Amino acid sequence: MRSHDLIIVGAGTGNALIDERFAHLDVALISEGPFGGTCLNAGCIPSKMLVATADVADAVREAGRHDVDAELLRIRWPDVHKRVFGRLDAASKEGEQGRRDSDNVTVYRGRARFTGERRLRVETEDGAVEICAQQIVVAAGGRPVVPPLVADSGLPYETSDTVMRIEAPPKRLAVLGGGYIAAELAHVFHSAGSQVTVIEKEDRLLGQQDETVSAALTEAVRPSWDLRLGRSLTKVSGTAGDLVLTLDDGKEVRADTLLVAVGRRPNSDLLDLDKAGIDADGSGRITVDGQLRTSADGVWALGDISTPVPLKHVANREAQVAAHNLLHPGAERTMNYEVVPSAVFTHPQIAQVGLTEQEAREQGMDYVVAVHRYSDVAYGWALEEKEGFCKVLADRRTGRLLGAHLLGPQAATLVQPLVIAMTTGMTARALAEQPLWIHPALTEVVENALLDLDTEENSTAAEGAAAAES
């Protein structure tokens, strides 16, 4: 059995953890899949590269609203595929080779399972290898959930891990699920020419988003996608390339391709955690403390296998915290999940941070809400934007921001000043009045939403301004 100072299981965010500070340690890096993990190979990056292409195509289709006559000839899918995955596959291989060339890192390619406390067995192409270490970081990620109804049908299906690499957009694509992965990929393939049907058990798409955003997105895509909302899949039949999907209302959906996008699960069940004394919760997430330590001494976990918020930017911050804690025993940092933004790159784009209105209402909070539309600011006019809005929630008494939600162009960028304000404790009024906001820019929709809030702070400011004028 070979002994290392540190073993990292997973070459996605786990690989990013290793920097020059670890040069004095003998590090083992285990990866079953390609380097870069889900984000680089089948998640955030390829999907957004495809979304960017889809957005260009949609801009051409919608050029008429700017009095521009334009016609979209086609999306050259093979060329798009080559551009996207040619770049990303090369980056993955370069990342692996860089580690193999390192003086202090040993790469093990294969599936790892725990055999005891801080001991692992790795099944490689050249045979099984037994390794151990004083410290281990588990960052083995997750995988798509596939309902048994689909998996046991014997018929082909795609997931987010595979669908972006198909040779051509299907003529008829059925999407099972209505979350952010389903919405983003439905946008991509609709823009590429597929007839898209979305089957979702909830009554709206993106049901975990703020209710105003969820309702607006659902209505925005209704003319483009065939929405089967409030419906469940009961049977998959037909043949490869001509699938028949039977719903719980007895109706059938015909499709060339089925994309299953009903969620993801941690890969913890593949690791024999019990043999290492590592606990996981009912959903399969490895349980960690605030410093990212597991229940097993010397074992840490981060990323989709353990985090309560499975987002890449969260995993990146967890890697920073874990790296510090590995190197500074007794002076550990704590991971903070209080203010976590996210975005959905649909058309229209969506971003959010903090509480939704339904969460604030369910918690019995004394809050106020303001909604300001893109069409009410100058650059919204320039964009001829009819759907977009910024919605903010704040504590009525203190003026502290509780949540923010945007739907429309550049939403993922526009949310950032609101994230900063919530992180630093800045009030809505202070954020609106202290910095200068560029005119005319879309950021004015955020500024005006903040000023529209009926907080005690805003009311006092308004009364003071009125008294000064009189």
Q: How far apart are CA 103 and CA 26, in angstroms?
A: 9
Task: Report CA torsion sign: 234, 237, 240, 242.
Answer: negative
| In contact, 174 and 44? CB cutoff 8 Å | no
Q: Which residue has the tokens 């999306």?
A: 75
Q: What SS3 class is residue 29?
A: strand
Q: Is 81 a catalytic residue?
A: no
Residues whose CB falls within 8 Å of the CB of residue 400, separated by 6 or more in sequence, listed in order: 394, 425, 427, 428
Q: How far apart are CA 224 and CA 253, in angstroms?
A: 16
Q: How far apart are CA 141 and CA 304, in angstroms?
A: 5
Strands (E), 202-312: 226-229, 233-239, 242-247, 252-255, 257-260, 264-266, 299-301
User: Cα 311 to the chain's mean position, in Å?
Assistant: 5
Residue 79: CB atoms within 10 A of its CB come to 10
DSSP track, 106-124: EEEESEEEEEETTEEEEEE
Q: Within a 13 Å sphere around the CA of 396, how many CA atoms are in the beta-carbon half?
A: 6
Catalytic residue, candidates 4, 187, 328, 439: 439
| In contact, 437 and 444? CB cutoff 8 Å | yes
Q: What is the dihedral of CA 422, 425, 431, 433, to 10 degrees?
A: 170
Which two three-digit tokens encode residue 386? 């009819």
The radius of gyration of the chain from alpha carbons, rounded to an integer in Å, stands at: 25
* 6: nearest Cα among 335, 332, 327, 330: 327
Which two three-digit tokens encode residue 257? 């391709």
Q: How far apart are CA 214 and CA 391, in angstroms?
A: 12
Q: How far apart are CA 188 and CA 253, in angstroms?
A: 20
End-to-end CA distance of the chain: 84
* 244: nearest Cα among 310, 199, 289, 295: 199
User: Cα 127 to the chain's mean position, in Å?
Assistant: 36
Residues carrying an active site annotation:
439
